[in-house]
Structure 1
Amino acid sequence: MAQVKPAAGQQKKVEKKSDDSAKNKKGTAKKKPVDKRKRVDLLHADEAQADKLLRPDVQVLIGSVKLRHDSMYMYCDSALIYEKTNSVEAFSNVRMEQGDTLFIYGDYLNYNGETQLAMLRENVKLINRKTTLTTDSLNYDRLYNLGYYFEGGTLTDEENILTSDWGEYSPATKIAVFNHEVKLANPRFTLYSDTLKYSTDSKIATILGPSNIVNEKNHIYSERGFYNTAKDQAQLLDRSVLTNEGKKLVADSLFYDRKTGYGEAFYNVVMNDTINKNMLTGDYCFYNELTESALATQKAVAIDYSQGDSLFMHADTLKMNSYFVKTDSAYREMKAYHKVRIFRKDIQGVCDSLLFSSKDSCLRMYHDPIIWNEKQQLLGEEINVYMNDSTIDWAHIINQALTVEQKDSIHYNQISGKEIKAYFQGGEARKIDVIGNVLVIYYPEEKDSTMIGMNTSETSLLNLHLMNRKMEKMVMSPKSNGTLYPMDQIPVDKMKLPTFVWFDYIRPQNKEDIFNWRGKKSGETLRKTTRKPVTSPKRELNKLN
């Protein structure tokens, strides 16, 4: 091969173009002029070689090669320029530079000036400001300003390290797309996905396929959504799932702030606590994993499934607060308000507001509370139910207390008093104490459950002892003889106590019925009583002065 000096080669090409111009003037067919903007130009090489006989369109460049195509500069140790195809093969220490923001390195480059496609192989590195893409096989399309790899690659910026089998990156838009075995590694969490879009500018990852985001405390599963890796905030769609230490939150859409532990869920929300075996549902739910507080509204339901048969409770708003979290004194409070309705197969209830505290395991029902158990109805101004391992231990009905048991459509056992205390074993009432101004209407029975008559009594204290839901013994203090009316001689005006009322039309019938609020009929509400406020000695002293 003959050695050709770059200057001489360029001189010969110029002369050839002059000849072609002369022929065109004589009327011969015109050739399309070379677009200088698309031509790959040689700027420097220590040595240039050419063989005009065997490979007339090829130049061999050796040593400190520098080329230019439009605004792109290319450097390498050696190269081949193909004049007919306007393309280049570059070898060893390959470097491409475009402006002062884009640099691409590799061991080998195949660049086509017509398509403006650069194919780099082995030890490839693309640097765009603070973003670095490394791979062994990278194709960079200058027309679309897009680089893509297909045999595994890694993209790194100030926040994250992303790896995948296939990926693409646009220096112009700062957007990267990853497919297959995608992993986003962040000091605070790791994201695994099948398809992911990521902005190196905003640091927002767009989830486009099945993805898992995990750290030491929680786990997020989503198939569509956005995760701001700089702010640690997620906006997740399509029934995404947030799991945290036995608690699982699912909804049509979720917002989650990892730094504050704050989460919001919208529509068809289910928050399940598998440790305490309870659940919150609704169309809006708030949860703070740091303070362990939650709130649910819009068709809100609390479900307890710790006792086999689930208990369902609905209210306008359900709220849970935790106190002294992560200490030996930790306890929780569940508040429900307004229009509370409760259903379980063995117990139902209604009230306007409710409070349960794990501190004393007491369920407090306020504002016209009523409880039903089979054919038994309990009501008063306030009902406190004390639990033991999620089962009823005892219940306290305060002021205007009334218990009613339905015998048939017209006969009812009835007891009223200032307060009632009911004690349970295995979920069944075993003893009932009625205290203060006790009035009784009771139907004693034969062994075959045939009613003998109706007994009416008055006393100050009544103790009932039951077994298998039937009375075994009744003790009155002071003792009352009462009156027993035969079944066929019962006066109609004696069949009901003055405070008697049977709220069967209010009672929840099933778990779906808890959403249907039904208020008391006019005239059947409890009369309001006032409690004397407790005054301090200091206040009384001020009155005297």
Structure 2
Amino acid sequence: MYRQLQLVIILTFLSILAVAQQPRKIKLIQADIMAYNKALGEGVQRIIGNAIFEHDGAYLYCDSAHLNDATNSMKAYSRVHIKSSDTLNLYGDSLYYSGDTKIAEVFDNVKLIDNKTVLTTDKLVFDRNTGIAYYLTGGHIVNEQNTLDSRRGYYHTNSKDFFFRQDVVLVNPDYVMNCDTLQYNTQSKISWFRGPTTIKGEETDIYAENGWYNTITDISEFNENARVKNGDQVLTGDSLYYERKNGFGQAFRNIQVTDTVQNIIVTGQYALYDKTQGYTLITIKPEALFIEKNDTLFMHADSLWATFDSEQKTKEVFAYYHTKFFRTDIQGMADSLIYSFADSTMRMLGDPVLWTDENQITADTIHIVSANEEMKELYLLNNAFIISSDTLGTGYNQIKGRNMTGYFTENELYRIDVVGNSETIYYVREEDGTLTGINKAFASNMSIRLRDRKIKQIVYIQKPTAVLHPEGELGPSDLFLKNFRWLSDRRPLKREDIFVW
């Protein structure tokens, strides 16, 4: 008896559940005329004039319709309107709707309005079960200041998410975005994109293959082959973060900044860009390449900074701490370095050392002036010291003074003027290389002439004192001027050496 009662309860429950799961019938609420026409099919009602239907909470309006009770479906014509909720309205010229599947197909002059979002297309399928509407033949969306076009699109009316495919174009008053795949939320105004994507603005062009963009805040993140072009500068990296309104950006991993006007490339693993303050910072193994017609100067420091003007043109490059550079004809190192494009001058600060040909050059501060991609003048300020190895012996030719000015022709040093407390130690040799003696001289000032990278003449000015000592006469300590330092082991001999301090 108990089991029979259980069976009755189960069967009753299943019958109730089956009734509940049966699709609801489409109801005719009102119309001017209702008639039957066998030509339309068995059980098909013809509805004419101001027709209103209801199905599962949604209302459908049209001028005329064919309602099929047997299949629980209908066709609607002229001024079709589906009101699915307080905010969601769908319009078109004609419609096919199934009450069993709750799927509507709307044709011609289709318009879907959801709050401030308007979608227009020529055919739209709307699934009321999932709340998803989609088109496959091209659509146009307007959402406040943003408009969007694509070949295919899917709108999730519940989450307010659009998914667009193929020939996607998002137009904003400040930029135009083109991509292959885009997700856009009409409430947050954030778009997520996939595939090759370009964002073109008045001053900034962006390319990436993965990322997101907030159209309200103009904040974005770009990944996969990301690139930002601003004026003459191009920034690339594995990942870029950019705030367009205030011109602030960050880049991460495999970064490269290219200045197409100044012919500079700067690489590193982290970069910070601040348009308002007018600078770019690159750190974590940064390297700067100053590209010239016949050669390239490679520079490394703990951090590299570039400043630019209001037109985004680079003004100066700053290298801070453990700075080293290499070019085939000149190398150097210093605590810090500044290069100014206005006067084409490199300023080396903090225990600077410069090597050119056989010469090692030091001072408290070193300035190198260039023109037309060639060195023109060299300024050694305070404690100037030039050393070169005596190529046929073990000694060193030395020039010392308070300040020095060097002059170049075709990047070769040909003259040095020494001002204040001038001293020299010079190994004098015959043309066959025989050592004549070691000349040790003092003067207030002196002028030195070089040819083929060797000293050919020294002119001592004001109170000169010079003694030519035969070989072996001077003791070891007398062969070196005060503060002598030979730093050949620190000299970068190839590009890779600039990373070794």
Deviates more, 1:461-470 or 1:223-232: 461-470
- Structure 1 residue 371: Cα displacement: 0.5
Query: How far, CA to CA, are the matches of 1:350 and 1:56 in structure 2?
Result: 95
Query: How far, CA to CA, are the matches of 2:296 and 2:483 in structure 1?
Result: 33
Residue 192 of structure 1 corresponds to: 178
Query: How far, CA to CA, are the matches of 2:479 and 2:214 in structure 1?
Result: 70
Is residue 109–residue 118 contact of structure 1 (8 Å, CA) maintained in 2?
yes
Residue 459 of structure 1 corresponds to: 443
Is 1:99 the counterpart of 2:85? The answer is yes
Residue 417 of structure 1 corresponds to: 401
Question: 128, 145, 154: which one pairs with 2:114?
Answer: 128
Matches within 5 A, 1:369-380: 369-380=352-363
Is residue 368–residue 375 contact of structure 2 (8 Å, CA) maintained in 1?
yes
Count of matched residue pairs: 485
Question: 24, 29, 32: which one pairs with 1:46?
Answer: 32
Query: How far, CA to CA, are the matches of 2:87 and 2:53 in structure 1?
Result: 18
Matches within 5 A, 1:300-379: 300-322=286-308, 325=310, 332-379=315-362
Is residue 270–residue 279 contact of structure 1 (8 Å, CA) maintained in 2?
yes
Residue 384 of structure 1 corresponds to: 367
Deviates more, 1:259-268 or 1:36-45: 36-45
Identity, in percent, stands at 37
Query: How far, CA to CA, are the matches of 2:274 and 2:292 in structure 1?
Result: 23
Query: How far, CA to CA, are the matches of 1:449 and 1:131 in structure 2?
Result: 90
Flag the structure with higher strand content. 2
Matches within 5 A, 1:235-250: 235-250=221-236
Query: How far, CA to CA, are the matches of 2:42 and 2:433 in structure 1?
Result: 118
Is residue 184–residue 191 contact of structure 1 (8 Å, CA) maintained in 2?
yes
- Structure 1 residue 493: Cα displacement: 3.7
Is 1:505 the counterpart of 2:489? The answer is yes
TM-score of the superposition, structure 1-length normalised?
Answer: 0.84
- Structure 1 residue 54: Cα displacement: 8.2
Letter in 1 for 2:440: T
Query: How far, CA to CA, are the matches of 2:478 and 2:44 in structure 1?
Result: 120
- Structure 1 residue 452: Cα displacement: 4.0
Residue 457 of structure 2 corresponds to: 473
Q: What is the DSSP-based 3-state SS (H/G/I as helix, E as strand, rest coil) of the residue aligned with 1:336?
A: strand
Query: How far, CA to CA, are the matches of 1:98 and 1:57 in structure 2?
Result: 27
Query: Which digits, 9 at most, give the CA deviation of each residue in 1:256-301, with x for residues without a partner?
Result: 2222222221222111001111122222212234554211222222
Residue 279 of structure 2 corresponds to: 293
Q: What is the DSSP-based 3-state SS (H/G/I as helix, E as strand, rest coil) of the residue aligned with 1:223?
A: strand
Residue 9 of structure 2 corresponds to: none
Is residue 205–residue 226 contact of structure 1 (8 Å, CA) maintained in 2?
yes
Residue 542 of structure 1 corresponds to: none
Query: How far, CA to CA, are the matches of 1:85 and 1:196 in structure 2?
Result: 38
Q: What is the DSSP-based 3-state SS (H/G/I as helix, E as strand, rest coil) of the residue aligned with 1:210?
A: strand
Query: How far, CA to CA, are the matches of 1:141 and 1:446 in structure 2?
Result: 100
CA separation of 1:68 and 1:449: change in aligned 2, threshold 3 A: farther
- Structure 1 residue 52: Cα displacement: 6.7
Is residue 358–residue 453 contact of structure 2 (8 Å, CA) maintained in 1?
no
Deviates more, 1:229-238 or 1:283-292: 283-292
Query: Which digits, 9 at most, give the CA deviation of each residue in 1:17-40, with x for residues without a partner?
Result: xxxxxxxxxxxxxxx758565321
- Structure 1 residue 359: Cα displacement: 4.0
TM-score of the superposition, structure 2-length normalised?
Answer: 0.91
Letter in 1 for 2:423: L
Residue 12 of structure 1 corresponds to: none
Segments of structure 1 that go 5 or more residues without pairing to the other structure are: 1-31, 518-545
Question: 429, 434, 437: which one pairs with 1:445?
Answer: 429
Letter in 2 for 1:186: N
Query: How far, CA to CA, are the matches of 1:509 and 1:430 in structure 2?
Result: 23
User: RMSD between aligned alpha carbons?
Assistant: 2.5
Query: How far, CA to CA, are the matches of 1:516 and 1:470 in structure 2?
Result: 30
Segments of structure 2 that go 5 or more residues without pairing to the other structure are: 1-17
Letter in 2 for 1:478: Q
Matches within 5 A, 1:254-293: 254-289=240-275, 292-293=278-279
Is residue 417–residue 438 contact of structure 1 (8 Å, CA) maintained in 2?
yes
- Structure 1 residue 236: Cα displacement: 0.8
Residue 27 of structure 1 corresponds to: none
Residue 407 of structure 1 corresponds to: 390
Is residue 444–residue 463 contact of structure 2 (8 Å, CA) maintained in 1?
no
- Structure 1 residue 467: Cα displacement: 2.5
Residue 51 of structure 2 corresponds to: 65
